[in-house]
Structure 1
Amino acid sequence: MATDTTSETLHGGRLIARRLKAHGVEVIFTLSGGHIFSIYDGCREEGIRIVDVRHEQAAAFAAEGWAKVTRTPGVAVLTAGPGVTNGMSAMGSALMNHSPMVVLGGRAPAMRWGMGSLQEIDHVPFVAPLTRSAATADSPAAIPGLIDDALAAAVGAPGGPAFVDFPLDHVFSEAPDPANAPGVLDGSVGPAADEAQLSRAIELLRSAERPAIMAGTDLYWGHGEDALVKLVEQVRIPAYVNGLARGCVPSDHELAFSRTRGQALSGADVALVIGVPLDFRMGFGAVFGEDTKVIVIDRVPSERPHPREIAAELYGGLPAILEALADGVGPGSDTTAWVNGLRAAETEKLAGEQAEMSDDRSPLHPLRLYKELIGVLDRDAIVIGDGGDFVSYAGRVMPTYEPGCWLDPGPYGCLGAGPGYALAAKLARPDKQVVLLLGDGAFGFSGMEFDTLARHGVNVVGVVGNNGIWALEKHPMEFLYGYSVAADLVPETPYDQVVEALGGTGSQVREPGQLRGALEKALSEDGPSLVNVMTDPTVVYPRRSNLA
Structure 2
Amino acid sequence: MVYGEKLIAQTLHDLGVRVIFGLPGLPVIDIAQEGMNLGIRFVAFRNEQAAAYAATAYGYLTGRPGICIAVGGPGVLHVMTGLPHATVNCWPLLVLGGSSETHNGGKGAFQELDAISLLTPHAKLAIRPPDPDTIPKFIKDAYRAAMYGRPGPAFVDLPANLILGTFDVERKKMMALPEAPKSMAPDNKIRDIVNALRGAKAPLLVVGKGAAYSRAETQIRTLVDRAGIPFFPTPMAKGITADSSPYNFSAARSTAMKQTDIVLVLGARLNWILSFGLPPKWSPTVKIIQVDFAADELGKNGGDPELSVAGDIGLVVDQILKQIGTWKWQERNSDYYKALQMAKLRN
TM over 0.5: yes
Q: 1:23 aligns with which of 5, 11, 15?
A: 15
- 1:318 equivalent to 2:313? Answer yes
Name the SS of the counterpart of 1:51 in structure 2. strand
Structure 2 counterpart of 1:319, which letter? Answer: G
The structural deviation recorded for 1:305 is: 6.1
Specify the alignment match of 1:328 in structure 2: 323
Cα distance, 1:76 vs structure 2: 0.8
Structure 2 alignment gaps of length 5 or more:
none
Q: Counterpart of 2:74?
A: 82
Whether the 8 Å contact between 1:192 and 1:321 is mirrored in structure 2 is yes
C-alpha distance in 2, partners of 1:80/1:304?
Answer: 39
Q: In the TM superposition, what is the alpha-carbon distance from 1:178 to its structure 2 partner?
A: 4.7
Aligned partners of 2:292 and 2:310 also within 8 Å: yes
State the Cα distance separating 1:309 from its structure 2 match: 5.0
Instruction: State which of 281, 291, 305 in structure 1 corresponds to 2:285.
Output: 291
Equivalent of residue 41 in structure 1, options 24, 33, 41: 33
- Aligned partner of 1:244 among 236, 240, 244: 236
Ranges in structure 1 where 5+ consecutive residues have no aligned partner? 1-8, 350-548
1:190 CA drift (Å): 1.1
Name the SS of the counterpart of 1:252 in structure 2. coil
Who is 1:32 aligned against?
24
Matches within 5 A, 1:51-130: 51-130=43-122
Residue equivalent to 1:153:
145
What's the % identity of the aligned pairs? 28
Q: Judging changes above 3 Å, is the alpha-carbon distance between structure 1 residues 292 and 79 closer, same or farther for their aligned structure 2 residues? A: same
SS at match of 1:223: coil
Alignment-derived partner of residue 344 in structure 2: 346
What corresponds to 1:279 in structure 2?
A: 271
Aligned equivalent of 1:301? 295
- CA displacement at 1:184 relative to structure 2: 5.0
What amino acid sits opposite 1:12 in the alignment?
Answer: G
What per-residue deviation string (whole Å, max 9, x for no partner) do you get for residues 331-355 of structure 1? Answer: 1542433546423421221xxxxxx
- Counterparts of 1:137-216 in structure 2, within 5 Å, are 137-173=129-165, 174-176=167-169, 178-187=171-180, 189-216=181-208
- Cα 1:243–1:24, aligned 2, differ >3 Å: closer, same or farther? farther
Instruction: Report runs of 4+ in structure 1 exceeding 6 Å deviation.
Output: none
Q: Find the residue that maps to 2:179 and give its secondary structure.
A: coil
Shift of 1:298: 0.6
Instruction: Give a deviation string over 1:263-315, Cα, whole Å, max 9, x none.
Output: 11221111011111111122122232111111010112235861235141111
Change in 2 beyond 3 A, CA 1:299/1:335: farther
Instruction: Report SS of the residue matched to 1:34.
Output: coil
Aligned partners of 1:102 and 1:163 also within 8 Å: yes
Q: Which amino acid aligns with 1:116?
A: G
1:213 and 1:175, CA in 2 relative to 1: closer, same or farther beyond 3 A?
A: farther
Q: Is the 8 A contact 2:203 2:260 kept in 1?
A: yes
AA in 2 matched with 1:317: D
- 3-state SS, counterpart of residue 308 of structure 2: strand
Q: Distance in 2 between matches of 1:175 and 1:97?
A: 41
Equivalent AA in structure 1 for residue 310 of structure 2: Y
Distance (whole Å) between structure 2 residues aligned to residue 333 and residue 40 of structure 1? 55
Aligned counterparts of 2:262 and 2:168: Cα–Cα separation in 1: 58
CA contact (8 A) 1:239 1:249 kept: no
Aligned to 1:234: 226
Q: Distance in 2 between matches of 1:308 and 1:200?
A: 18
User: Partners in 2 of 1:240 and 1:247 — Cα distance?
Assistant: 11
Alpha-carbon distance between aligned partners in 1 of 2:89 and 2:152, rounded to the nearest angstrom: 7
CA distance in 1 between partners of 2:148 and 2:227 (Å): 31
- CA displacement at 1:172 relative to structure 2: 2.1
Is the Cα–Cα contact under 8 Å of residues 80 and 106 in structure 1 kept in the other structure? yes
Change (3 A) 1:19 1:343: farther
Amino acid at match of 2:169: P
In structure 2, relative to structure 1, the CA distance for the partners of 1:304 and 1:237 (3 Å cut) is closer
Matches within 5 A, 1:434-473: none
d(CA) in 1 for partners of 2:79, 2:192? 44
CA change 1:202–1:305 in 2 (3 A) is closer
